[in-house]
Structure 1
Amino acid sequence: MTTLIVNNRAIDSDELVDIIINSNGIYKSTLIKLLQCNRISLEARLKTLTRNKIISKGKVNKPFYYVSSYDLKHMKDLDLQSMVVQYLVSIGLYTNKIQVIDSLDKNKQLYISVYASGKFNYKNVETIKKLANNRFNQFSSEEDRKYFSQFIINELTKFPIRVSSFSDMLQEKYYTTSLETVDILAIPNKEFIPAIQSNLADVSFRNLENNSTLIRNDILIYLNDSNTLGYFVREKNQYTLQAIYSVVDFFYYLTLHKNSKDAIYISDNRKEYDNADDLYFQSYLNKEKYNTVQIKQGKQKPQP
């Protein structure tokens, strides 16, 4: 069982309410995974919102929250998509903003702004430094080496990701509607991969407004059963899935596939990184403030 990353990010009240409003129902457990927050703090916020009749509470096997209506399919989709957020955070891509949006087919998607500090990781994590050097040497062109290096030498890399899900091959279809974000498609298991592969195409020169079948060939795939994220590599007329295990692997992917490069923001300003990291820092301060074990231990220490 995958260990969840929680109690790591403070709760933004506006973000929480917007997510519930736009979700048409969302499990409490999904909110915890999505927001990476403290369970007790979340329950207190939800209780207050329910008491003030801003949201309503329901239960189908487990508690969920909604505003005017709810849809069990949407709730299941968002729960699957929340595991993508958990995976991204586990490899060092943190969430600055989290939104729930509708696809053109009125399915629920996540629109998240993620960020990382390549400079910090390169300076402080030896395994990351070694992997970054190895990846750098794998590029054959000087252009790609320079492009990859900017992720490593700067304080902040920030870009949007759209997370969708596909869990019923008979009732659903997935296709690319734009290249304005990095796209991740969450699926239950590898049995869904052939249906995706059959529609993969280079859509970088196509008008996607009328597209209803093709899937961008740089799509990222999240496999829920194995908790794996990867992208397709074509070898000998066959596609294989190349796994992403670290933030450096993600930077390597962004260098290989530049369809969404205009959406990537890079800065060497530490203050901009700190601004993006605000909710995680607030969580750290909260834990320092409310950690009663440390407080009690501190009181027992003799005064100098």
Structure 2
Amino acid sequence: MSSALDDDTQRAIAEGRETAGAVLRSAQKDLQKVFVVFLVGFLGVFMALRRGVWVWLKGVTTQRMPAELQSQFDIIAQTPFDVILLQAKISLVAGIIVASPVLVYFSRDALKERGHWPEVPIPLWKAVPIVLLSGVLFMGGMAYGYLLFFPIMFNFLAGNAVSAGFAPYWSIVLWTEFVLLLTFSFGLAAQMPLAITGLSYTGIVPYEQFRDKWRYAVVAIFVFGAVFSPPDPFTQIMWAAPLLVLYGFSLYLAKFAVTMKRGSERLSAAGVLRRNWNATAAPLVAGVAVGALQWPTLFEVIL
């Protein structure tokens, strides 16, 4: 019986398995270090969840709720294993995220052999500011969510449930998944200035295309918000408004970076010589000709 997968898919899966095996073999002598990093990340997040993260998240949820609404609101565990399994899942993902860069670093030789390592690495003095800026933007997106979006949204949702005659008892599993999903979506959305500037600066997507297609970007932002936020106009506006501001800031930042790049190219000596080689060569040829004409006279003076 023929396989349900086509040849390209089977080949891609086989290459992926070979690459994963080569990565593990290359990092075999350092797997203990990778496991230690994973264990530190796992236990750190697990203990943080036990000690105070749940209380803090519930405080964020009830921050804007009136006292009478808070008295009716609660977050519950529906089964005996909800909390412990949820803590283990979150800690497992955190440990994998923390240990992954260490695994990639120790397996870099195998990745280089297979062509999966960048041939021209970014200089450290350029990479560090980009990473720091990405982290700052991610934290800024999270701060907007936890300081403004979540309190207002949860107050609206809990109040809506009470007004409909239902007690707002939320499952800790579904509530946490909802919070984490929106947290990462805010953090990733905050990378917009860095992404647009990088694409424009490298020329992958011209700055003019981002500028001229802003109407499509507005529609995409509202569609994205309709998927990742509750289906009421108020929270969707709260979602879309900062993204629209970020898009405008991204255009400004991209324009500044592209203008600086194009200006430096125009002002560079090599660029000037390439674009004006005929005008540059003319004085040089004239100087050589004058020197050749004056060379016999100079020779006579020397003698």
Which structure is higher in strand share?
A: 1
Shorter-chain-normalised TM-score: which range? under 0.3
Larger Rg: 2
Q: Could you tell me the TM-score, scaled by structure 2's length?
A: 0.22
